[in-house]
Amino acid sequence: MAEPAHNSRGAAQRYGARPTMKDVAARAGVGLKTVSRVVNGEPGVTPDTMQRVQSAIDALGFRRNDSARILRKGRTSSVGLVLEDLGDPFYSSLSRAVEEVARGYGSLLFTGSSDEDPEREQELTLAFCARRVDGLVIVPTSFDHRYLEPEIAAGIASVFVDRPAERIDADAVLTDNAGAVREGVAHLIGQGHRRIAFIGDQPRIHTASERLRGYRETMAAAGLPVDEAWVSMGSTAPERVHAELSRMLDDPQPVTALFSGNNRVTVAALRVLTASSRPVALVGFDDFELADLLSPAVTVVAQDPARLGRTATELLFNRLEGETGPPRRVELRGRLIVRGSGEIAF
Amino acid sequence: MAEPAHNSRGAAQRYGARPTMKDVAARAGVGLKTVSRVVNGEPGVTPDTMQRVQSAIDALGFRRNDSARILRKGRTSSVGLVLEDLGDPFYSSLSRAVEEVARGYGSLLFTGSSDEDPEREQELTLAFCARRVDGLVIVPTSFDHRYLEPEIAAGIASVFVDRPAERIDADAVLTDNAGAVREGVAHLIGQGHRRIAFIGDQPRIHTASERLRGYRETMAAAGLPVDEAWVSMGSTAPERVHAELSRMLDDPQPVTALFSGNNRVTVAALRVLTASSRPVALVGFDDFELADLLSPAVTVVAQDPARLGRTATELLFNRLEGETGPPRRVELRGRLIVRGSGEIAF
């Protein structure tokens, strides 16, 4: 990045020598403006001249370069999507929905995974800004988004999805996480369970702390005490989930039900529960493929990742098309899907 | 796209008016070259001048624009990834691996889904080229990639992954599909099955036809006739798979085993087999999450989508770093994972 502008490495020579519009103009014996008209499909060129220019384009292998036009027009028709992990099914559904909406507006999509690393989020986001994306859709992991203020002031639209922005006011599309958990935990209480475990993600993650809040509120509202040994927040790595759930099940007074805080926890917990001698009720946050084919089939409170992605991206393009007004927060409801594992009675 | 260069819509005014280096130079009372030196971290600026330029940058909210530098340098440090469907777990693992390798080379990633539509593949690929990506990683769906020849001639590197290029010679990283299927079908024959069904994807897709070839070769090598009623190629939509498999199972002489041609077929077939009164052996192509937790757990021949993505992207960057020589074809082997469903004996 610190190379002088005209330095060219060996590889750059091989991959960099492209014919320009000037070359086309010289070969066709016309002015630059005429070549530009042909390339951009503008009127005012005779068929004969158009033919001469096209021949020169073909002979030289000239290809239009959007970068130059982008510099002139101020819009790049591209959107940057920053999320936690492109390889996680929840985010791949969300990404696909963002891509579809962006495509409807003629926009291409940059994607990048933050891996729950705030520095990596910032690095990716600013790299997208330096490429002059028109807008950003961000699943945030940072505690402080003030680093985006100069970008937003410079005109980059941004919408946060799944989790809100921190320390700046910005559009956000979220699931009502606490509300969805309340429904799931109340369902377990309704089956007679009193000793209900909650295993969730890192508590610094907004969705994780909101879900924990939903659990605590529901237990409190039902007059049920929470033993802190039943609550475990941290990495969703299978090893950690295995260890924590095994500890809770091996207790002399074991938990009889589990609310798992996201699909990574649910999948890891299923491996422990399948090996368990005693049936343990389970409600998971987030639906997942094949949940209906397991035995018992897995009861979940489902978010709709595609709808989160679609709604956020529509909001982004509304802003780009001139919608003003204060930042908006859209909350989508979760949905309890009853399948069997959550109906194992105490 | 056909707007005059200086036309500005309402929204473009709000999102387009960015301060330029000229504005910074004027405010700081220095020359343009000095601002450029500060912005690009080049030497030759006194601390005092640097301070003046930085104050002007902060006051104006100036942000560096990579597009201009990209035009000068010829490299954009970006890669375009075209695949079938970003929402499919196979491709989301592959994408994540491409992203990780690209990141290691300081490159950002454009992603786009072709939806098995050759026109959409071409549209996406050429849109990435017009943004001057340095290279392309393509899961192709087109029958004819000659549309890429001018781009390749102009210096864009490209590697095909999962399926080879058609009608051009290009680097490709593939799984040995026929070989992997041979292993899976031989496994079913080894359990005593003779009436073995094969349900696969559209036969025009390279991987689908290769897998079918592997099935036919194995049956022939074992001296087993194939009734064409046992073979069904087409969309992987659940409805089609349900209908075809149900037809095969309802036959007076039903099939006793199924080889499913990809993970979409396997998941759809599982719903039919779970409801079937008779046990039917199953080996699926592609591993999938929770395959081990179903009952019976699902035997598969597994590809490694992350390894496909990594290998292809490393090959791409080797080319960008100057590796010459004829196009390379790398074949990765599949791996049989025995779990239960494939060991249901005849």
Looking at the predicted structure, is the pLDDT value of residue B16 above 50? no
What is the helix (H) or strand (E) element at residue B111, kind and residue range? strand B108-113
Q: What mean pLDDT comes out for the span A318-324?
A: 91
Q: What is the pLDDT of residue B70?
A: 56
Please state, for a pLDDT cut of 70, what percent of chain B lies above it.
Answer: 92
- Class of the CATH domain delimited by B177-304+335-343: alpha beta
- Which of B11, B289, B293 is opposite residue A322, by nearest beta carbon? B11
Give pLDDT tens digits for A44-90. Answer: 888 899 889 988 988 887 776 666 655 556 678 899 999 999 988 89
Amino acid at position B113, single letter: S
User: How distant is the Cα of B101 from the closest Cα of chain A, in angstroms?
Assistant: 12
Tell me if A77-175+306-332 shares its fold with A177-304+335-343: yes
Mean pLDDT of chain A: 90
Phi, psi of B177 (to 5 degrees): -65, -50
Q: What is the pLDDT of residue B69?
A: 57
**Which chain A residues touch B95 with a CB distance below 8 Å?**
86-87, 92, 111
The CA-to-CA distance between both ends of chain B, in Å, stands at 63
Residues A87 and B79: beta-carbon distance below 8 Å? no
Amino acid at position B257, single letter: A
* CATH code for residues B77-175+306-332: 3.40.50.2300
Mean pLDDT of chain B: 90
Confidence band of B6 (pLDDT split at 50, 70, 90): very low
In the numeric block, the tokens 């809100």 are attached to: A164
Q: What is the pLDDT of residue A122?
A: 94
Range of A27-36, A58-67, A189-198, B118-127 with top mean pLDDT? A189-198
* A136: β partners: A80, A158
Question: What would the DSSP string read from start to end of B44-76?
Answer: ---HHHHHHHHHHHHHHT----HHHHHHHHS--
Q: What mean pLDDT comes out for the span B113-130?
A: 93
Q: What mean pLDDT comes out for the span A217-223?
A: 98
Residues listed for chain A: 346
What would the two tokens of residue B227 be?
């009734």
- Residues B242 and A101: their CA atoms lie apart, in Å, by 31
Q: What mean pLDDT comes out for the span A112-137?
A: 93
Q: What is the pLDDT of residue A60?
A: 83
Q: Tell me if A89 and B85 make a contact (CB, 8 A cut-off).
A: no
Task: Assess B130–A contact: CB distance below 8 Å, yes or no.
Answer: yes
Phi, psi of B285 (to 5 degrees): -90, 130
What would the two tokens of residue B102 be?
């690209």
Q: What is the pLDDT of residue A87?
A: 87
Q: Spell out the residues 6+ positions from residue B309 whose beta carbon is closer than 8 angstroms to its own.
A: B93, B94, B95, B96, B97, B98, B101, B137, B161
Describe chain B by its helix, strand, coil percentages, rounded to 5. 45, 15, 40
Task: Assess A265–B contact: CB distance below 8 Å, yes or no.
Answer: no
Looking at the predicted structure, is the pLDDT value of residue A11 above 90? no
- Residues B29 and B25: their CA atoms lie apart, in Å, by 6
Q: What is the pLDDT of residue B9?
A: 29
Looking at the predicted structure, is the pLDDT value of residue B71 above 60? no
- Residues B91 and B85: their CA atoms lie apart, in Å, by 7
- Which of B16, B155, B321 is opposite residue A74, by nearest beta carbon? B16
Q: Which of A123-137, A208-222, B235-249 is predicted least confidently?
A: A123-137
Residues A162 and A176: beta-carbon distance below 8 Å? no
Q: Tell me if A71 and B73 make a contact (CB, 8 A cut-off).
A: no
What would the two tokens of residue B316 be?
């791409």
User: What is the residue extent of each domain of chain A?
Assistant: 5-64, 77-175+306-332, 177-304+335-343
Between B270 and A17, whose confidence is greater? B270
Between A21 and A339, whose confidence is greater? A339
Task: Assess A69–B contact: CB distance below 8 Å, yes or no.
Answer: yes
- Three-state SS annotation for B248-300: HHHCCCCCCEEEECCHHHHHHHHHHHHHCCCCCEEEEECCCCCCCCCCCCCEE
Task: Assess A148–B contact: CB distance below 8 Å, yes or no.
Answer: no
Please state, for a pLDDT cut of 90, what percent of chain B lies above it.
Answer: 72
- Which of B155, B274, B322 is opposite residue A17, by nearest beta carbon? B155
- Which of A1, A95, A155 is opposite residue B86, by nearest beta carbon? A95
- Residues B92 and A283: their CA atoms lie apart, in Å, by 26
* CATH code for residues A5-64: 1.10.260.40
Task: Assess B89–A contact: CB distance below 8 Å, yes or no.
Answer: yes
Looking at the predicted structure, is the pLDDT value of residue B10 above 60? no
- Three-state SS annotation for B132-186: CCCEEEECCCCCCCHHHHHHHHCCCEEEEECCCCCCCCCEEEEECHHHHHHHHHH
Q: Spell out the residues 6+ positions from residue A290 whose beta carbon is closer than 8 angstroms to its own.
A: B267, B270, B288, B289, B290, B294
Question: What residues of chain B, 203 to 262, have a C-beta less than 8 Å from chain A?
Answer: none
What is the helix (H) or strand (E) element at residue A213, kind and residue range? helix A206-221
Confidence band of A12 (pLDDT split at 50, 70, 90): very low
Looking at the predicted structure, is the pLDDT value of residue B75 above 90? no
Looking at the predicted structure, is the pLDDT value of residue A17 above 70? no
Amino acid at position B95, single letter: S
Q: What mean pLDDT comes out for the span B275-296?
A: 94
Between B47 and B222, whose confidence is greater? B222
pTM, whole model, 2 decimals?
Answer: 0.82
Measuring CA to CA, which residue among B259, B341, B247 is closest to residue B297?
B341
The CA-to-CA distance between both ends of chain A, in Å, stands at 63
Give pLDDT tens digits for B300-342. Answer: 999 999 999 999 999 999 999 889 899 999 999 999 999 999 9
ipTM of the complex: 0.80
Q: What mean pLDDT comes out for the span A4-31?
A: 62
User: How distant is the Cα of B215 from the closest Cα of chain A, in angstroms?
Assistant: 27
Task: Assess B121–A contact: CB distance below 8 Å, yes or no.
Answer: no
- B77 sits in the region (left: phi over 0; alpha: psi -120 to 50; else beta) called left
Give pLDDT tens digits for B125-184. Answer: 999 998 889 999 999 999 999 999 989 988 899 999 999 999 999 999 999 999 999 999
Count CB atoms within 10 A of the CB of residue B136: 24
Give whole-number Cα distances, A59 to A35, B55, B119, in Å.
14, 49, 25
